Amino acid sequence: MAELKVGFIGTGVMGAPMARNVLRAGFPVTVHNRTRSRAEPLLNEGASWAASPAELAAGCNIVVTCVSDTPDVRAVVLGPSGVIEGASRGATVIDMSTVSPTATREIAERLEAAGVDMLDAPVSGGQKGAIEGALSIMVGGKPEVLARCRPVLDAMGKTIVHCGGHGQGQMVKLCNQIAIAGNLLAAAEALTFARKAGLDLATVIEAVGAGAAGSWALNVLGPRMAARDFAPGFMVKLQLKDLRLVMQEASELGVPLAGAAIAQQLFTAIQAEGAGDEGTQAIVRAVEKLAGL
């Protein structure tokens, strides 16, 4: 197998620690970000810089994208000076953003016509999982391409699951976002109920979190809700983007998602207050406002 040379486009809250773990695993890493200053810590640790996605792709056989939304993936992969202009035949693009499954299939077709493979590999686990290299990675694409790229994914995730063909990794990630939205809403409602009843929130989290009602949302984000710590591990505006994708696919499938729809409205209320950059645990403020707290 040829040496795996990894390019990383997007060095934000998630992308930077993911790229750092790939670098620490011993792979040569080249990075590109719209704002170079956000990549400087990685450059100081040994990563190389590319001035454009095309330049990055020309020197790498695996290109990882971790950006905010579907138009961003289209732009860095297929746009002017995009990955497709620099990638060699036989290279692989791994999109680890959460984006439209339909768009993912279209991008994969364009890349395949140019001799470039693609995996959609969105992640779950938040910033903490990215830092610890313990993400859950949901992969769509050809199994033989996954096998070739697995050493790189192993540096970023603890659980790597092949979900099917192109776009299926994204579809499984939307399932994840449906579940996390419901869990966040449930945790926020439980803690709002507890606060209004005069209970000690730390005690409630300890007792409830250890039983059948325990969840990542309650056990990890519940203490942040209680402490009024809304610093982002995953931003409200990105959760809203994911729920928009969920609702688009649900409409196509004819699946009612009442819980996700309620969560979407509460996140919309938080964003309308100018708090879209806060962490998703801020949903508790919307629930508290409804409860008169």
- CATH number of the domain within which 186 lies: 1.10.1040.10
Q: Are 98 and 173 in contact (CB under 8 A)?
A: yes
Per-residue pLDDT tens for 18-35?
A: 999 999 999 999 999 999
Residue 189 φ/ψ, nearest 5 degrees: -65, -40
pLDDT tier at 116 (50, 70, 90 boundaries)?
very high
Is 1 within a domain?
no
Catalytic-role residue among 5, 128, 142, 173: 173
Same structural domain, 36 and 113: yes
How many independent structural domains does the chain possess?
Answer: 2
Same structural domain, 29 and 147: yes
Same structural domain, 107 and 177: no
Q: What is the rounded distance in angstroms from the CA atom of residue 159 to the CA atom of residue 169? A: 13
pLDDT at 136 over 80: yes
Same structural domain, 151 and 255: no
pLDDT tier at 233 (50, 70, 90 boundaries)?
confident
pLDDT at 164: 98
**Percent of the chain predicted with pLDDT > 70:** 99
Is 183 within a domain?
yes
Catalytic residue flag (residue 158): no
**Segment 244-269 mean pLDDT:** 97
Same structural domain, 134 and 201: no
Per-residue pLDDT tens for 173-230?
A: 999 999 999 999 999 999 999 999 999 999 999 999 999 999 999 999 999 999 999 9
Same structural domain, 31 and 107: yes
Is 53 within a domain?
yes
> CA dist 18 to 12, 22, 68, 126, 205, Å?
10, 7, 15, 11, 30
**Segment 57-62 mean pLDDT:** 97
Q: Are 35 and 9 in contact (CB under 8 A)?
A: no
Domain boundary at 164, 196, 214, which?
164
Same structural domain, 75 and 99: yes
What is Dmax (Cα atoms) for the chain?
Answer: 63
Domain boundary at 114, 144, 164, which?
164
| β-bridge partners, 138 | 161
Same structural domain, 211 and 148: no
Query: Where residue 23 sits, what CATH number does that domain have?
Result: 3.40.50.720
Same structural domain, 13 and 132: yes
Domain range for residue 44?
A: 6-164
**Average per-residue pLDDT in the chain?**
96
> CA dist 227 to 9, 185, 285, Å?
34, 17, 12
Same structural domain, 154 and 260: no
pLDDT tier at 242 (50, 70, 90 boundaries)?
very high
pLDDT at 126: 87
Same structural domain, 223 and 258: yes
Same structural domain, 183 and 74: no
Whole-model pTM: value is: 0.93
pLDDT at 2: 66
Write out the two tokens for 256: 């009612």
Is 94 within a domain?
yes
Domain boundary at 164, 198, 229, which?
164
Q: What is the rounded distance in angstroms from the CA atom of residue 61 to the CA atom of residue 84? A: 12
pLDDT at 1 over 60: no
